[in-house]
Amino acid sequence: MGLIPIKIDEIYEAEVIDLENEAAGVCKVKGVTVFVPKTLVGEKIRFRITEIKKNFARGKLIEILSPSEKRVKSSCPYYEECGGCDLRHQSDDENLIFKRNKVIKALEKIGKIKTEVKPVVPSFKNENYRNKASFKVENDRIGFYGSGTYQLVDISYCKLLEDKINDALLIIRSYLKNNKNEIKTITIKLGNAMGELLIDVYSTDLKDEKIKDYLISNVKDLKVIVFNGKTVYGNGYIGQICNGLMFNCSSDSFFQVNSVQVERLYKIAIKEAKLSKNDVVLDLYCGTGTISCIVSSYVKKVIGIEIVEDAVIDANCNARINGITNSRFICGDVAKEISKIKEKIDVIFVDPPRKGIDRKAIAVMKKILPKKIVYISCNPVTMARDLSYLNDLYNVKEVTPVDMFPNTCHVECVCLLEKH
Ligand SMILES: C[S@@+](CC[C@H](N)C(=O)[O-])C[C@H]1O[C@@H](n2cnc3c(N)ncnc32)[C@H](O)[C@@H]1O
């Protein structure tokens, strides 16, 4: 391709012809594809070019010249600038349709898989559902980056977050206003078992550890403070209750962000697996052992593999506190550890990070050849790619998208594969 015929800061008008994977509108200008967030198909828009890449450009919406009938007014005052949400300008029902189409498109285009995709299971709550927020900090400002930028949008409330996290945000804001600091990020997690908070602060100045005393005095139900990776207050973990079991989760351990909807996600995964008492299950990318512990009562044995050491410590503790005696957790890279498994495996649950399953791990999964694989994914694109690698040995039987992230473009999927 020759030189791209458009320039930064130029202003154009065009019609939105599609929504891409992350829900930005797709426009064509002088043959160049331009992605403009927070627009809808059929809308005529005016936008400014903000970024030019080799094969495409990005733009920022200036004005909607003719709105789509699907457009709704966002009730968030930060929505225009903030990158936290991308689908507040469309109704919840339309968002579910977008998410289902996104899964279908990924399966067809990337995976070359044509299969029935069920309607998206809606979230119990569309607001105040997140149990975790990672805020960026710049001096006395705290918030999220803007869509597609590294410009901080200073916020005092986020509609996605559980209220207790918003309350803590206000307290932290007032600390930042009154204390010069070099803090870069603050992560707040809420444990649903006791309503306790974990606050994890990262700063380039060790003196900022003094925020600890302020947080202890002012934040209600604060259980843990982590400063630059070290627990400086509390015993290091908060408790989550999920599907009737208790899970300890420390700062670096993964736990699904939508505490209520996650119960549905796991129930769907377990129902689809149709487990039996003689099954030996492998739980790849097992985190704090949530899936392992929940399936343990249906099967003979479960083995989890997870790379984060603290998560494996949590997983072992979680099995113990729930009285589970048929589980084993291995700390390490799935790509390496999976080939050391000696047991005959009947079912694999695999719930990888966004980048999907390591290619080497897929090769070993195919040698293990379980009768079923339940693939749980937060990224339909990498899921579709991985399914295409498994396609020669496995049929895709069920695809159930689950809305874990309302008001954003993201969707979780449970996919059942059965051996041909
Ligand atoms: C999407 S989370 C799933 C966690 C768990 N299944 C759950 O439902 O809570 C993905 C997990 O994979 C872990 N992980 C990432 N890369 C890994 C690797 N190469 N080997 C093993 N675990 C890995 C992460 O630490 C994280 O806990």
- One-character DSSP codes across 112-127: ------PPPB--S-SS
- One-character DSSP codes across 75-92: --TTTTTBSS-S-TTB-H
Q: Is the pLDDT of residue 147 over 90?
A: no
Distance CA 118, CA 375 (A): 15
Q: Which of 192, 285, 291, 360 to mutate to test the pocket of ligand 1 (most atoms within 8 A of CB)?
A: 285
Q: Is the pLDDT of residue 1 over 60?
A: no
Q: Which atom of ligand 1 is nearest to the CA of 252?
A: 25
pLDDT tens, position by position, 222-252: 999 999 999 999 999 999 999 999 999 999 9
pLDDT tens, position by position, 291-338: 999 999 999 999 999 999 999 999 999 999 999 999 999 999 999 999
Question: By the 8 A CB rule, do 43 and 64 touch?
Answer: yes
249 is catalytic: no
Q: Is 175 in the pocket of ligand 1 (CB under 6 A)?
A: no
Q: Which atom of ligand 1 is nearest to the CA of 358?
A: 19
Distance CA 57, CA 324 (A): 53
Q: Is 383 in the pocket of ligand 1 (CB under 6 A)?
A: no
Give SS3 for 365: helix
Q: Is 25 in the pocket of ligand 1 (CB under 6 A)?
A: no
Q: Is the pLDDT of residue 98 over 80?
A: yes
- What is the reported pLDDT for 4? 82
Distance CA 314, CA 158 (A): 29
The tokens describing 152, both together, are 């901080």
Count of beta carbons in the 10 Å neighbourhood of residue 383: 27
Q: Is 315 in the pocket of ligand 1 (CB under 6 A)?
A: no
Catalytic pick from 242, 293, 378, 413? Answer: 378
Evaluate whether 11-71 and 132-238 have a shared fold: yes
- One-character DSSP codes across 298-343: TSSEEEEEES-HHHHHHHHHHHHHTT--SEEEEES-HHHHGGG--S
DSSP 8-state symbol, 161 = B
Q: Give the residue from 194, 8, 170, 97 showing the smallest Cα distance to 401.
A: 97
Q: Is 351 in the pocket of ligand 1 (CB under 6 A)?
A: yes
Distance 59 CA to ligand 1 centre (A): 34
What are the sequence ranges of the domains in the chain? 11-71, 95-125+258-419, 132-238
| pTM beyond 0.85, yes or no | yes
Q: Is 306 in the pocket of ligand 1 (CB under 6 A)?
A: yes
- What is the reported pLDDT for 2? 60
Q: Which of 290, 307, 329 to mutate to test the pocket of ligand 1 (most atoms within 8 A of CB)?
A: 307
Backbone angles phi, psi at 265, to 5 degrees: -55, -50
Question: By the 8 A CB rule, do 314 and 247 touch?
Answer: yes
The closest residue, in CA terms, to atom 6 on ligand 1 is 286
Q: Is 311 in the pocket of ligand 1 (CB under 6 A)?
A: yes
- What is the reported pLDDT for 303? 98
The closest residue, in CA terms, to atom 17 on ligand 1 is 307
CA distance to 109, 166, 294, per residue, from 134 (Å):
33, 12, 28
The tokens describing 65, both together, are 């010249």
Find the farthest-apart pair of alpha carbons in the chain and give their distance in angstroms, rounded. 65
What would the CATH number be for the domain defined by 11-71? 2.40.50.140
Q: Which atom of ligand 1 is nearest to the CA of 352?
A: 10
Distance CA 403, CA 420 (A): 29
Distance CA 158, CA 78 (A): 9
What angle separates helix 380-390 from helix 359-368, to the nearest 10 degrees?
40
Q: What integer best gives the mean pLDDT of the chain?
A: 97
- What is the reported pLDDT for 149? 87
Q: Is 97 in the pocket of ligand 1 (CB under 6 A)?
A: no
Distance 310 CA to ligand 1 centre (A): 12
Q: Is 181 in the pocket of ligand 1 (CB under 6 A)?
A: no
What fold is seen in the domain 132-238? OB fold (Dihydrolipoamide Acetyltransferase, E2P) (2.40.50)
What would the CATH number be for the domain defined by 95-125+258-419? 3.40.50.150
Give SS3 for 282: strand
The closest residue, in CA terms, to atom 15 on ligand 1 is 353
pLDDT tens, position by position, 36-72: 999 999 999 999 999 999 999 999 999 999 999 999 9
- What is the reported pLDDT for 133? 98
Q: Which of 240, 243, 245, 254 to mutate to test the pocket of ligand 1 (most atoms within 8 A of CB)?
A: 254
Q: Is 291 in the pocket of ligand 1 (CB under 6 A)?
A: yes
